[in-house]
Structure formats: C-alpha cells, structure tokens
C-alpha cells in the first residue's frame, strides 16, 4: 500500500484482552502515523506490553481489530514481519557470542551480509565492542545491541518495549540520541513503551497515556497540557492544615491536591503571576505558614496524578 501521510500505519480499534480475570486491555483505540514517534506511557501493569505484542502479532486480542500498513496479521505474516523491527522488554542473547557474531547470526535470518552488520554497529555505536562477548556488555550496551537487531532489516516501523528501563541517565540519553538520528536520517516510525515521562517528552511526537488497560489521553505534549486546562503548578508545604483557608472560590484555581503524609499542597492554576499574590495575602491573613514554595510548568506526571490519583512511577 502506498504510504499516505494521513493514513495510519498502525490502527487498533476497540481491542480487548484478558488473562483469566485480569483485564489487560479494555477497549483500546490507537493510530500511528508514518514518520511519527509515539510513546505508550503508563505505570507497571498498565497493559503496554500486551498492547505492543498484539500489534506485533505475538499475542491475539479477544476482540477488536489490528491492522498494520492497512493489513491484518492473518494471511500477511511474512510481509508484515519484513516491515517491522522489534525489541522486547528483556532480550536473551547467546552469552558466548561476540557483538559482531550476534548481529551476523540475526542478519543471516534476513539474508543480509556483513556490510549491513557493520552499518548497524555504526548506527548503534557499538563498533568498539564488536569483539566483546555479549555476557560482558553493560545494560546500556545490551539495549543498543537489541536495538541494532531490531534495525537490521531497515524496518519502516520500530516497536520498542521499555528500551531504557533500568539504565542510568547517560546510557538512556545515548539510546535517545540513536533514536533521534534514526528519525532524522531514515524517517523511521516508532512505538515505544515507557514509564519515564522524560522519555516520552524528549523523544516522541505523540503520547498515549495508558493505565489499567485503557487509554486515558492522547496527543502531542502541547495538546495534552492544553486539554487539561492547566499549565502551571504551585506547590508548598503547610505547617498546620487546620489553618489553611478555603481557596475554592479563587477563579484561576483548576485543581487542588493534598499529599496527606507530608501536607504537600499542589495547586493547578491558570496563571501563577495572578494567583500567587492573592494566595499569599490570604495565607498571611489566616496566619497559615508555608514552606518549600515552588512554581513550575505542568509535567506529564502531574497530568497522570490528576487523572488517576497515582504517580507514574509508583
Ligand atoms: N501472560 C499473562 N498471564 C496473566 N496475566 C498477564 C499476562 N500478561 C500480562 N498479564 C497481566 O496483564 C496486565 C498488563 O500487563 P502488561 O501488558 O505486561 O503491562 P505493562 O507492560 O504496562 O507493565 C497486568 O496486570 C499483568 O499482570
Ligand atoms: Mg511491560
């Protein structure tokens, strides 16, 4: 099928999947467009792996429909596998093979030669490790190898399940740089699952927030923030909650959240510079002491807490 910019290359419609009484996916709709990077962002157990494995044709939905490049898995397996590249949440390698040997082995499955192996080592920045045994690689290097394997067949669509979970910030940024370069140089499309909001924000054009098998929100970061009708956060701790005044009639207040154990207050407001002087005056009038006052822009974690009452990383 010729690729048309506004035709989705992945379309999931009303997908349900249960494991006995665990509802892993409860009516998920998803569209991925060419050359876009999409993050499936959600906490552990949200249903991310189940969803990507259904897209990958590894698991099958109880109901609902999946198409890739306009085709169903049924009857199109070989063709679809040629167009996608996968990396799993955990990849088992043969410890006694070197990096180059591992890539050569996978390259042979696709009928690719040594030159492609060299190209891949260059793309994922593993040339220095070409002779190293896989068992001796760091976590970040293993993830780069897994990414290299996913890229061998020059896929149009890359699907990565938690590619940076457990990596240190430096290794994480190195993976991000490789993915940014792929997007820029090869126009690859990507679906990536993560529970790191920074990863979704830094890498992806579209963000799909998923929890308990349902899509809670989707769009660009700007759309998610503007749909939430809040962009600014004021946070502080209250010494004595009994003295905290009723501010529910403040016109710019969108939401107030209390963290019970620490008496940390989070206010979602429309306009900090208008809100803050009024707030401070009211607190002073009531003799309500506060500490650790901070003002900042809203993050995906704030939106997630607002939607679910929990943090992404809880
Ligand atoms: N093979 C399985 N058998 C039973 N329960 C499963 C299986 N796979 C996933 N689940 C359950 O489905 C839910 C979603 O899991 P998963 O898709 O792995 O979430 P995530 O990748 O977002 O952490 C979880 O409650 C998980 O325990
Ligand atoms: Mg998972």
- The predicted-structure confidence for 47-81, as pLDDT tens digits, reads as follows 999 999 999 999 999 999 999 999 999 999 999 99
Pocket of ligand 1 contains residue 48 by CB under 6 Å = yes
CA–CA gap between residue 241 and residue 283 (Å, rounded):
11
Each residue of 2-31: pLDDT tens digit?
A: 555 578 999 999 999 999 999 999 999 999
45: tokens are 């157990």
d(CA 72, CA 217): 26
Q: Which atom of ligand 1 is nearest to the CA of 89?
A: 21
> Residues 15, 2: contact at Cβ < 8 Å?
no
* pLDDT tens per residue, range 83-115: 999 998 888 899 899 999 999 999 999 999 999
Tokens found for residue 238? 């209250």
Say if residue 198's pLDDT is above 90: yes
Q: Is the CB of 24 under 6 A from ligand 1?
A: yes
Which residues are registered as beta bridge partners of 160? 87, 192
* Alpha carbon distance 68, 51 (integer Å): 14
**Atom 2 of ligand 1, residue of closest alpha carbon:** 19
Cβ pair 191, 38 in contact under 8 A: yes
What is the average pLDDT across 226-253? 91
Question: 101: CA distance to ligand 2 center in Å?
Answer: 28
Ligand 1 centroid–CA 124 distance in Å is 30
- 8 Å CB contact between 87 and 175: no
Q: Whose CA is nearest to atom 17 of ligand 1?
A: 47
Sign of the alpha-carbon torsion through 123, 128, 132, 137? negative
Task: Report which bound ligand comes closest to the CA of 89.
Answer: 2
CA 287 to chain centre: 44
Domain residue extents for the chain: 10-225, 229-297
The CATH fold assigned to 10-225 is: Rossmann fold (3.40.50)
Q: What is the mean predicted confidence (pLDDT) over 137-163?
A: 96
Query: Residue 260 and residue 258: Cα distance in Å, rounded?
Result: 6
d(CA 30, CA 307): 19
Fold for domain 229-297?
Alpha-Beta Plaits (3.30.70)
Asked whether 22 lines ligand 1 (CB < 6 A), one says yes
């Amino acid at each position: 099928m010729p690729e048309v910019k506004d035709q989705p290359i992945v379309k999931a419609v009303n997908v349900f999947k249960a494991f006995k009484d665990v509802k892993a996916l409860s009516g998920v709709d998803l569209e991925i467009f060419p050359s876009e990077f999409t993050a499936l962002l959600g906490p552990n157990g949200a249903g991310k792996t189940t969803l990507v494995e259904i897209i990958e044709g590894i698991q099958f939905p109880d109901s609902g429909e999946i198409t890739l490049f306009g085709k169903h898995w049924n009857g199109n397996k070989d063709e679809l596998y040629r167009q996608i590249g996968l990396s799993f949440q955990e990849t088992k390698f043969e410890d006694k093979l070197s990096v180059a040997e591992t890539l050569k082995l996978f390259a042979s499955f696709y009928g690719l030669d040594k030159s492609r192996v060299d190209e891949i080592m260059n793309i994922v920045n593993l040339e220095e490790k070409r002779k190293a045994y896989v068992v001796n690689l760091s976590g970040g290097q293993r993830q780069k190898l897994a990414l290299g394997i996913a890229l061998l067949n020059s896929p149009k669509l890359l699907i990565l399940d938690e590619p940076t979970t457990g990596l240190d910030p430096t290794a994480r940024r190195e993976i991000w740089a490789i993915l940014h370069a792929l997007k820029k140089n090869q126009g690859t499309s990507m679906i990536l699952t993560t529970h790191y909001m920074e990863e979704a924000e830094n890498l992806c054009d579209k963000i799909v927030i998923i929890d308990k098998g349902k899509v809670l929100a989707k769009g660009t970061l700007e759309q998610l923030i503007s749909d939430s009708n809040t962009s600014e956060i004021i946070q502080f701790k209250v010494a004595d909650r009994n003295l905290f005044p009723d501010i529910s009639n403040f016109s710019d207040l969108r939401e107030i959240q209390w963290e019970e154990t620490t008496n940390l207050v989070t206010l979602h407001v429309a306009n900090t510079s208008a809100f803050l002087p009024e707030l401070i005056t009211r607190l002073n009038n009531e003799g309500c002491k506060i500490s650790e006052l901070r003002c900042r822009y809203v993050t995906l974690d704030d939106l997630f807490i607002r939607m679910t009452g929990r943090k992404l990383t809880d």
